[in-house]
Copies of this chain bind each other. A is one copy, B any other.
Amino acid sequence: MIMTNSFHIEKMRQNAESIFHAGVRAVEPYSAVLRFCRREENILQIGNRSYDVTNFENIYVLGGGKAGAAMAGALEALIGDRITKGLVTVKYGHLAPTKKVVLLEAGHPIPDLQGQQSASATMDLARKAGENDLVICLISGGASALLSLPAEGLSLAEKQETIKVLLACGATIHEINTIRKHISMIKGGRLAQAAFPATVVTLLLSDVVGDDPAVIGSGPTIPDGSTFAECMEILSKYDLSGRLPGKVVQFLGSGASGNNPETPKSDSPVFENNFHLIVGSNMGAILAAREAAMALGYTPVILSSMIEGETRHVAAVHVAIAKEVRRSGHPAAPPACILSGGETTVTISGQGKGGRNQEFGLAAAIHLAGEQGMVVLSAGTDGTDGPTDAAGAIVDPHTIIRAAEAGMDPGLYLRNNDAYPFLERTGDLFKTGPTNTNVMDLRIMLIV
């Protein structure tokens, strides 16, 4: 009996892993672009839009992000023969062979001078585009840092200091983005503004909860809904005038008085020939995972692609749902696969080693104690989780038994945010290596 049961759990663990990989495959930047973009003869189909590539004098490819190389490669595979020039900024070392598109390297997550030069060159190329040109912009996670270009008169250091103060003062991410866009020369639609009157198409690989295109990479080609006036309200709300670099305060105030140009809004002519499409997202990965789960005989339930919150409590809610599956057949009867995505947070109180997905696994393992027939996998779709070599964790009710046999107190490891050594010892680390994409985290619970 015990051997049969062990085998069963082993098989479920394999299933969970293959469901995860199916999810990630669907959002690999190269295949994600080709999934939404097709070419037949001269017609380039992007989502439900069609563009005759022979109608354009020039086709420019711009953009940035950690997935930039693969996205550029896919575009070259489609319309390499028609691309005039391309400049895509990627993280140091994230290169791949390209033919027409030049890949530039820059710093991430801390912006550097290289990124500033790349952003400047990107803006120059956008400005070159004219009425009869097509600009295809490729944006993925990291673009905001990689393409960092301070507004006229501000320095990179002043910009960074501003973000630091904003992060520390308790401002919301929406408020931080509002100011970030207004002290930038490229974010908040300003790249689209530079490319005007060219036709602009943006392909996005979303690494943000909710997939707001104005948030992904700070939306360089997307209308900005915020204003200089709102920046001043934020300064006043958190009493920041004395704490931010003087030039930044002066610049924002000057903008609010109408002396600096506002970011382009959705009713601006800039966006008349502007189209964007999300080619990869957390929900994209979840839907592919769902297909894989069904093929393996599990009834799938998608909870949400927008899960946020403190990891250990999110894990508690997830396991409570898994337990209910076995107990009452809700929200689905076993064998079931419960899927969710998003990005949780860990409030660090300990000195340990781990990541949010590993901590999810450790917390889930504690709640799985005494249960049967359940496997919980949580991992970053980019194949990394915190400052570790693991993508996340894959745990089952035996995890806690293995921990006890090894003399480990799971509560102690959790309190110390020390999931990595715990899971390493129980054999429940999940390692994939870099996947070259990032649509946040994926959680898979299998219940039989």
Contact = CB atoms under 8 A, between A and B. Distances in A.
Interface of A: 170, 210, 283, 301-310, 312-314, 316-317, 320-321, 323-324, 327-328, 330-331, 342, 411
Nearest to A325: B304
A304 B316 contact: no
A304 B330 contact: yes
A304 B323 CA distance: 8
B331 A306 contact: no
B320 A342 contact: yes
Given A317-B314, A331-B331, A324 B309 contact: no
A16 B306 CA distance: 24
Contact of A302 (B309, B323, B330): B330
Contacts of A327: 283, 306
Contacts of A303: 303, 320-321, 324, 330-331
Given A308-B316, A309-B317, A302 B324 contact: yes
A321 B321 CA distance: 13
Nearest to A370: B174
12 contacts: A210-B323, A302-B324, A302-B328, A303-B303, A303-B324, A304-B323, A305-B324, A305-B328, A306-B324, A309-B312, A313-B313, A331-B331
Contacts of A330: 301-304
A307 B320 contact: yes
Contact of A308 (B305, B307, B320): B320
B310 A310 contact: yes
Contacts of A307: 316-317, 320
B309 A313 contact: yes
B331 A301 contact: yes
A29 B163 CA distance: 57
Contacts of A331: 301-304, 331
A301 B301 CA distance: 10
Nearest to A210: B323
A239 B313 CA distance: 29
Contacts of A308: 316, 320
A259 to B, nearest CB: 30
A357 to B, nearest CB: 16
A-B residue pairs, 7 tightest by C-beta: A313-B313, A302-B330, A309-B316, A309-B313, A304-B324, A304-B320, A306-B320
A283 B308 CA distance: 26
A321 B309 contact: no
A323 B328 CA distance: 25
Nearest to A287: B328
Most chain B beta-carbon contacts within 10 A, residue among A302, A304, A321, A331: A304
Given A283-B328, A307-B317, 8 more contacts: A170-B411, A302-B324, A305-B328, A306-B323, A307-B316, A307-B320, A310-B310, A313-B314
Contacts of A317: 304, 307, 309, 313-314, 317
Contacts of A328: 283, 302, 305
Nearest to A329: B302
A167 B316 CA distance: 21
Contacts of A321: 303-304
